[in-house]
Amino acid sequence: MPYWNEKAETMPREELEKLQGQKLRKLCKYVYDRVEFYKKKFDELGIKPDDIKSAEDITKLPLTFKTDLRDHYPFGMNAVPLEEIVRIHASSGTTGKPTVVSYTRKDIEDWTELMARTVSAPGITRKDIIQNAYGYGLFTGGLGFHYGAERVGATVIPISGGNTERQLMIMQDFGSTVLTCTPSYALYIAEYAKKKGIDVSSLSLKKAICGAEPWSDNLRKTIEESLNIDAYDIYGLSEIYGPGVSVECEEKNGMHIWEDFFIVETLDKETYEPVGEGEEGVLAFTTLEKTGIPLIRYITYDISKITKEKCACGRTCCRMAKVSGRADDMLIVRGINVFPSQIESALMEIPGMAGYYQIIIDRDIIDSLLVQVELTEKTFSDKMSVLEKFQKEIETKLYNVLQVKANVELVGPGTLPRTEGKAKHVIDKRTKNI
Write out the residues near ligand DLL by the rule CB under 6 A.
Answer: 91, 134, 140-141, 211-214, 233-238, 242-243, 300, 302, 323, 326
Pairwise CA distance, residues 295 & 411, whole Å: 44
> Least distance from C-beta 7 to ligand DLL, angstroms?
25
- Nearer to ligand DLL by Cβ, of 25 and 315: the residue is 315
Give the phi and the psi of residue 202 in degrees, each rounded to 5: -85, -10
- Rounded to the nearest 10°, the torsion over CA 398, 402, 406, 410 is -30
Would you list the DSSP string of 324-363?
Answer: -EETTT-EEETTEEE-HHHHHHHHHTSTTEEEEEEEEEEE
> Least distance from C-beta 46 to ligand DLL, angstroms?
31
Provide the pairing of β-strand 242-248 with 255-257: antiparallel
Would you list the DSSP string of 207-229?
Answer: EEEEESS---HHHHHHHHHHHTS
> Least distance from C-beta 100 to ligand DLL, angstroms?
11
Number of Cβ within 10 Å of residue 195's Cβ equals 12
Pairwise CA distance, residues 388 & 5, whole Å: 55
> Least distance from C-beta 426 to ligand DLL, angstroms?
13
- Nearer to ligand DLL by Cβ, of 317 and 375: the residue is 317
Task: Describe the strand order of the beta sheet including 230-237 as a list of residue ranges.
Answer: 155-157, 129-132, 178-181, 207-211, 230-237, 242-248, 255-257, 319-320, 306-307
Please give the DSSP secondary-structure letter assigned to residue 91.
E
Q: Are 7 and 15 in contact (CB under 8 A)?
A: no
> Least distance from C-beta 302 to ligand DLL, angstroms?
5
> Least distance from C-beta 184 to ligand DLL, angstroms?
12
Pairwise CA distance, residues 284 & 296, whole Å: 9
Alpha helices, DSSP H only, in 90-181?
105-120, 140-152, 164-174
* Helix axis angle, 164-174 to 183-195, nearest 10°: 80
- Nearer to ligand DLL by Cβ, of 4 and 215: the residue is 215
- Nearer to ligand DLL by Cβ, of 238 and 266: the residue is 238
Residue of 219, 216, 320 whose CA lies nearest to 264? 320
- Nearer to ligand DLL by Cβ, of 272 and 380: the residue is 272
- Nearer to ligand DLL by Cβ, of 65 and 380: the residue is 65
Q: Which amino acid is at 344?
A: E
> Least distance from C-beta 421 to ligand DLL, angstroms?
9
- Nearer to ligand DLL by Cβ, of 16 and 237: the residue is 237
- Nearer to ligand DLL by Cβ, of 128 and 367: the residue is 128
| Residue 194 β-bridge partners | none
Pairwise CA distance, residues 7 & 152, whole Å: 16
- Nearer to ligand DLL by Cβ, of 52 and 179: the residue is 179
- Nearer to ligand DLL by Cβ, of 235 and 262: the residue is 235
> Least distance from C-beta 216 to ligand DLL, angstroms?
10
> Least distance from C-beta 10 to ligand DLL, angstroms?
24
> Least distance from C-beta 70 to ligand DLL, angstroms?
13
Pairwise CA distance, residues 206 & 177, whole Å: 5
